[in-house]
Chain A
Amino acid sequence: MAYSDKVIDHYNNPRNVGSFDKSDADVGTGIVGAPECGDVMKLQLRINPESRMIEDARFKTFGCGSAIASSSYVTELVKGKHIDEAMTIRNTVIVKELNLPPVKIHCSVLAEDAIKAAIGDWKKHHEDGAPAAAEPRKAQEG
């Protein structure tokens, strides 16, 4: 199968690879997929508790080149967006941007799920009565 130039570019120069400290209250972590299916994506978003804007993003992905490219692209896509807007991102945007063939559409679905899972994780800390932005920020970039 031939990959699109954009998939190859993200694969060779992945954006925002790494991890934030999971215990940081401003960080939402989403892990989706399963190893036995050949795809696991971890997406982390640093969200400003006041403005609810996504200030930064990191990913790590176990999966094919299209899965890596989808998650890499998503980190670029969500940065600077309000979480309500990020929640509306559909996988079709990823498919279009990366020119994914039909057999790779599941990679884009997984990336969309990862955004929702990460925001959902952040909301757990901030909407279930947990203190907002209480801890100092400590980023671990890997």
Chain B
Amino acid sequence: MPKLPIYMDNHATTPVDQRVLEAMLPYFSEKFGNAASRNHSFGWEAEEAVDRARGQIAQLINAKSKEIIFTSGATESDNLAIKGVVEFYREKGDHIVTCVTEHKAVLDSCRALERAGKASVTYLPVDKYGMVDPDAVRKALTDRTVLVTIMYANNEIGTIHPVAEIGRIARERGVVFHCDAVQAAGKIPVDVERDNIDLLSISAHKIYGPKGVGALYVRSRGPRVRITPQMDGGGHERGMRSGTLNVTGIVGLGKACEVAASEMAEENRRLLDLRDKLQAGIFERLDEVSLNGHPTERLPGNLNVSFAYVEGESLLMGLHDIAVSSGSACTSATLEPSYVIRALGVSDELAHSSIRFGLGRFNTEEEVDFVTGRVTHEVKRLREMSPLYEMARDGIDLKSVQWKAE
């Protein structure tokens, strides 16, 4: 029996790796200097640590150290990239191409620009696996397009977009390509040169680093990309992001990237085995289960499944000793089911029935076996309680029923 509760929600956040924590600890009280203090050893020590972290992050994504800008997290990175590009290139144009399954930090940044009359936005659809068609990106580009922003891998369904091809299309047309790589950098090989990426958002806490720190990669050459800063102040980070650097967090982000880079291949093999075992176990034991996301082009730790006739939140309640998440409306503030799952063309009912399992570095095979058993048991129990399951078994087509909704 594994230790309970089990954490299997690693797309939401991850625990700080012990090695990352140890790297960070001296920078709280001992080496506390301000990296911007240029005239004493406390400052130099902090600056040295920040530069080391810049190198570790750059190495993970095949960039140069000076191309890394530190932020408070990926939401800030996305805001800075999108608003920064649109503002800087406003003489050139005002059109953005993005996609409907992007993270809210991207979608709402785009919407804010639309509302302010600063940009018009094309929201591309995705196919049934959640993938954007690069050809659709090509067709959406106009003479006014200044930015393409497409995520590397989706946070709910794990689908990995054909980023390199999208990047190539944007590059050919001289359009800046921003990529939210929060779920990908440190998890799968990301290479800003191979993938033709100009701006890339990274978060520390998704890769076993601390919360509250992230980075934005800003291409310096071939072509040089410019952004207008979104915060006024002391002109830190080459004027792109003012504010005293979060040295401790930055050291943690750097170390997390270093560990991720050195263990990625092995970790992915292990995660893929665990994920496939979980998937096979659930699909063998239960009928009317469907996968949300791409069957193969998917993050190794991701498994998003809809359990027909069972509402997601009630299933989460039954799995109270297992931390996973649901696309059900009841778990969100808006009472709408997941917009990502709905974008796949899945019915609202199945969107309400979706559960996301996010496997990570510290999950074990014993945990996977336990989760498989618990999920199977709870789904069967709730189906026995479900009027929809009963109707479906009686051969009633649920789509033909006239529901008396409020």
List, in ascending order, chain A residues with CB within 8 A of B311's CB.
38-39, 62-64, 67
- List A residues at the B interface (Cβ < 8 Å): 3, 8, 11, 14, 17, 19, 31-42, 60-65, 67-68, 103, 106, 109-110, 113, 117, 142
Additional pairs, 12, CB under 8 Å, beyond known A3-B317, A62-B386: A11-B317, A32-B404, A32-B406, A33-B403, A37-B329, A37-B406, A38-B311, A38-B337, A61-B386, A65-B313, A109-B406, A142-B390
- Chain B interface residue count: which class? 20 to 34
Residues of B whose CB lies within 8 Å of any CB of A are 309-311, 313-314, 317-318, 328-330, 335, 337, 347-349, 352, 384-390, 398, 403-406
A-chain residues with CB within 8 Å of residue B317 when the two chains form the complex: 3, 8, 11, 64-65
- Bound state CA distance, A75 and B335, in angstroms? 26
Contact indicator B390/A35 (Cβ below 8 Å): no
Cα(A32)–Cα(B406), bound, Å: 8
In the complex the two chains form, what is the Cα distance from A84 to B315 in whole Å? 36
Give complex CA distance A89, B313 in Å.
27
Q: In the complex the two chains form, what is the Cα distance from A109 to B317 in whole Å?
A: 21
- The chain B residue with its CB closest to the CB of A42 is B387
Please name the residue on chain B nearest to A35 by beta carbon. Answer: B349
Q: CB-nearest residue of chain A relative to B309?
A: A62
Question: B403 contacts which of A19, A40, A63 (Cβ < 8 Å)?
Answer: A40
B349 near A36 (CB under 8 angstroms)? yes
Q: Is the Cβ of B406 less than 8 Å from the Cβ of A65?
A: no
Contact of A60 with B330 at beta-carbon distance under 8 Å, contacts A35-B349, A36-B347, A36-B349 already known:
no
Closest to B313 in A: A64
Minimal beta-carbon separation of A43 from chain B (angstroms): 10
B residues near A110, Cβ cutoff 8 Å: 406
A32 CB contacts on chain B under 8 angstroms: 404-406
Alpha-carbon gap, A110 to B405, bound state (A): 9
B309 touches A33 (CB 8 A): no
Contact yes or no, B314 A63, CB < 8 A: yes
Residues of A within 8 A of B349 (CB): 35-36, 38
In the complex, the 10 A-B pairs of residues with the closest C-beta atoms, listed nearest first:
A34-B403, A36-B348, A34-B405, A35-B349, A42-B387, A64-B313, A60-B387, A65-B317, A38-B352, A64-B330
Given the complex of chains A and B, what is the CA–CA distance between A3 and B389 in angstroms? Answer: 25
Query: Which of A31, A65, A117 makes the CB contact (< 8 A) with B314?
Result: A65
Q: Which B residues touch A34, using CB under 8 A? A: 403-405
Is the beta-carbon distance between B328 and A113 smaller than 8 angstroms? no
B384 close to A62 (CB less than 8 A): no
Set of chain A residues within 8 Å of B348, measured between Cβ atoms: 35-38
Please determine whether B385 and A68 come into contact, CB atoms closer than 8 angstroms: yes
